[in-house]
Amino acid sequence: MGKLIAIRHGQSTWNAENRFTGWVDVDLSEKGVQEARRSGKLLKQLDINFDICFTSYLKRAIDTLEIVLKVLGEKYEYTKAWELNERHYGALTGLNKKETEEKIGEEQFKKYRRSWDIPPPILDKDSKYNFEKDPVYKGIKKIPQTESLKNTFDRVIPYFEKYMEKHLRLNKNVLLSAHGNTIRALGKKIFNISDKNINLLEIPTGNPLLINFDNSGKVLDAKYLDEERKSPIITNQ
């Protein structure tokens, strides 16, 4: 099996403002640009080739990947897929997280943000964050108006199994630049994390996660490359 390296994009401008971003196409902050460059340097130290790269439709993930590839000095082709987009936060999109928690209460806030299968309220059809008429998503049968992590899992995992896993089984190395909940959904499958404990899996910005598999597809080991910014990897829970 090849290696899978998953990177959550560097800090975005809305990450810095503590806002629910979801499908809104915001830029990297200056810190996020620096995180992406550091990710590239960490990957360069691995001294491995990447056979194929994937990212979402959102520029914070695309820009992170392009910065990483520039640091690597490579011009790999990459595939963009809307299925790898961040979770859609519905009516919470654009709201400040702290202010929202104060308004709806800690318990409800945690349910919306970190539960497995409870989505936020549906986005208003008249919202400026409604992407149904966005030409970028033309051809998609049904654009979500809100998503739980389970909903995100239900689009990320079929895409992984159909388009990414086959390359790993051919002993090819795969680089993914995506989002916190994209990688959390993928981690749930790969690390066999329970519905109850998936909220414990933290995905830091701009810190490549290296995953090694045995020939059967079972995880041998996994680690974040930035040792100064460790996050726990919850497995078999």
**Enzyme catalytic residues:** 9, 86
CB crowding 139-161: b at 16 or more within 10 Å, else e: eeeeebbbbbbbbbbebbbebbe
Is residue 5 within 8 A of residue 42, CB to CB? The reply is: no
Instruction: Give the integer Cα–Cα distance in Å for 81 and 137.
Output: 10
Distant-in-sequence contacts of 121-128, Cβ < 8 A, 24+ apart: 121/90, 121/91, 121/92, 121/146, 122/90, 122/91, 122/146, 123/88, 123/90, 123/91, 123/93, 124/91, 127/91, 127/93
Separate counts of helices (H) and strands (E) for the chain? 8, 6
Tell me phi and psi for residue 78, to 5 degrees: -135, 155
Residue with tokens 């987009």: 85
Q: What one-letter code names the amino acid at 120?
A: P
The radius of gyration computed from the CA coordinates of the chain, to the nearest angstrom, equals 17
**Which tokens belong to 197?**
């404990």
> For residue 124, what is the DSSP state?
P
